[in-house]
Structure formats: C-alpha cells, structure tokens
Amino acid sequence: MSETPYRPFAHVPLAVFRQMRQNDPVHFDPRMRGWAVFRYDDAQYVLSHPQLFSSEAILPGQPHLPSFLGMDDPRHRKLRNIVSQVFTPRMIEQLTPQITAVVHQLLDQVAPQGHMDVIRDFAYPLPITIIAGLLGVPAEDQDTFRSWSDSLTAANGANDTPEARATNAQSFQDYFLQKLAERRRQPQQDLMSRLIDAEVDGEKLSDEELLEFCRLLLIAGYETTANLLGNAFVCFDQYPEVAEELRQHPEFMPGAVEEILRCFPSVAGDTRVALEDVTLGGKQIQKHQIVSVVATSANYDESQFPDSERFDIHRDPNRHLTFGYGVHFCLGAPLARLEARIGLTIALRRLHNIQRDPGQPIEPVQSPFIIGVRNFPITFTATAREEYTTP
C-alpha cells in the first residue's frame, strides 16, 4: 500500500495533526474559545463520558437541525431505544435489493456516455433516494424532498440564506406532519408507521420527536453517506491498485469501507460542552467550555493505528471514530456501510478504466464539519448489469 498523501479537500495536513498529538494533544483554541482534542484515547474518553461532557446546547441558532443530536441521557437513551426497535440491522439488511436496484439505475443512466460527475450522478442520488423511500416519500415528491434536504444539510453546494433555510425547514415540517397524520389514519408497512407504533415503558414518540428523527435521518444518512461515496472515488483515484484489488476481490470491500471512513472521514469530528471542571491530557478544562473531538486526527493516532498514515484495506482492528463513540454513536452507520458496500462494489464491477478528468478542477465542500468534494468528474468504460451478491 502507498503512503497517504495530503488530501486537497482536507482542512489540515496530516503532519499538523501528528505534531499536535505529540506536542499539544489537548489544545485551547482562542478562535472557538474552547478545546480541541487530537489523541484517540482522549477523544474516546470525551465521547464515552456524557456525565462530564454534554451534547446539549451544541447547536445554537440552528433550529432546523434535530435536537436529538444535542440531547443527553436519560431522555436521549429512551428516544434512542424507541428508534432502535424499528431501525434495526435486520431492517437495514432488507434494503439490499432496493439499494442494488437504485445503484444499477444510476449507473444505467451514465453508462452509455462514458463519463459522469460522481457527486452529482451517483454519490448524492443514491442515499437521498433510499431515505426518501424509507420515509414514504412518493416518486413525484422526491425532487422537492431533495431540494429541502440540500438546504437543511447545506449539501450539494447549497448556499441558502438563513431565511431560505428556515422556509425550507418549515416546508419540510409541514409536509411530514401531513405524512404522519396520514400514517396514523392508515398505517402502512414502512418505517414511519413502525416508528409511530414503537414505545418504551409505555411511551411513544411525539410528532415533534418523529420530525426530529426524520431530520436526523437526513443529517446522518444523506450528506455524510454521499461524502463517504464521493471520498471513496477520491481514494480510488489516489490508489488505483486498491480499486483493482477490490474489483477482483469484492469480499474485501467491507474492510475497504472502514479504511476509507478512517482516512477519508466525511465528518471532521464531534463537539461537547464540559459539565464541570475536568482535567484532560494534563489540561484543566473549565465548566461550560466547548470541547471538540478531532476525529480526523484521532483516526491517525499511531498508538491505536500502527503505521497510521498508510492506507490499508486489510487493517484489523479498525476502531475509527468517524461514526462517533458511546451513546451518540451514529444510528445510521449500518445503513451508510451497506450503501457504500453495495454501491462501490457494483460501481467497480461495472466501471473500468476509471480516470479523473484533469480538465475540471475539484472543489472542496465549504464546511468546518463536513469533509468531501462538491464535484468529481470521471471517465470510464462501462459494462452491462450483472448479478450481484452482497460481500
């Protein structure tokens, strides 16, 4: 395997992270008036101690984002248990035929022309189509649903004003309140109906909590998954030998997805607020100060990942923090992994001689939290469909 080069869309070079882990692993950043945590063990400690580091009040001024992301126990645990009853690994695995069909449909559309923009034509349409199906959005409403999603997540280059985002958030809410009312009158065999019926200790989700889950599914399952798929193609461009190995050995794809998540994470990290004075890494963190876990650094910590700057799809174990850790571990992780595993396996099987178009500059996603590219044009030689079995 080759050494991992500095990625043009990453915000900080790996050498800087390496220096911070060695010299100042818990660093006070006056620009954010809080602390940045660079080492794996310290990051894991913050994420696994919600009694010391709170998720509440970390999303001020963003009412369109779900408060479920910024909720502490015991309320968070109760709501998560309700959602987990429905959003199960078995339910997600049952999406395999649907995901497979959508992947083939997307590739069928671009195969005759021999070129595509990975982000526009593949990475974004796949997860949004799956999420729309999960939430019972009919085909005729999916374009509107996608425009709301782009606005609420600032995805796909969306650069809406706060007023436009608020308007889209209200439209999203009105639409799904109507859908919830329809499901209460006429339940169906879909995710929304099952969420309405699920309960823990006799308690069900309120309409507002159901809306939060719909928004959370967008945040966790749309842009982050889209950037995982896009970043995978960036990876294949840098490591064509890896793409060929996976083409010949699709059974290695699960490990490849984990290494892509580690080295090319779609989310830079996570944020907490100290609930009391805490000593971490020899530094005194004061109550109410912000603590940011820098997953993009922790994922390269040599103490956890030997030869950490080497991209190795056979790395085992691979306990990266891209999906978080502890009580806020990403509920959508199994779905993202499944979509990536199926989507990338079929893409490599059907697309050969993949080359990035050097005539079109690559634009990074403009976000302090999301890591990815807004476009990734490629050329290829396409083959017809074939039967696919999940590796």
The CATH number that applies at residue 89 is: 1.10.630.10
Tell me whether residue 298 is in a domain: yes
% of the chain residues with pLDDT over 70: 87
Across 7-16, 38-47, 346-355, least confident range = 7-16
366-385 pLDDT tens trace: 777 778 899 999 999 998 87
Cα distances from 219 to residues 127, 214, 258, in angstroms, run 11, 9, 20
pLDDT at position 212, please? 81
Per residue in 101-117, pLDDT tens?
Answer: 999 999 999 999 999 99
Closest to 56 measured CA to CA, from 48, 44, 67, 45: 67
Does 8 map to a domain?
no
pLDDT of residue 154: 63
Looking at the structure of the chain, the number of domains it has is 1
Q: What is the per-residue pLDDT for 67? A: 52
70 occurs within a structural domain: yes
CA distances from 346 to 36, 122, 226, 233, 259 (A): 39, 12, 16, 13, 19
In sequence order, what are the residues at sequence separation of 6 or more whose Cβ sits closer than 8 angstroms to the Cβ of residue 387? Answer: none
Ranges 164-173, 339-348, 361-370: which has the least confidence: 361-370
5: in domain: no
Tens digits of per-residue pLDDT, 225-238? 999 999 999 999 99
**Residue 209: inside a domain:** yes
Instruction: Give phi and psi for 294, each to the nearest 5.
Output: -95, 90
Pairing status of strand 377-382 against strand 115-117:
antiparallel
Residue 304 CA: distances (Å) to CA of 1, 295, 298: 19, 13, 9
- Prediction pTM value: 0.89
In a domain, 4, yes or no: no
Classify residue 340: in a domain, yes or no: yes
Q: Which of 210, 156, 203 is nearest to 181 (CA)?
A: 210
- Within-domain flag for 388: no
Does residue 182 surpass a pLDDT of 90? yes
| Burial of 103: CB neighbours in 10 Å, binned 0-12, 13-18, 19+ | buried
**Residues spanned by the domain of 341:** 14-382
For the record, the structure tokens of 96 come out as: 């395999």
- Arithmetic mean of pLDDT over the chain: 87
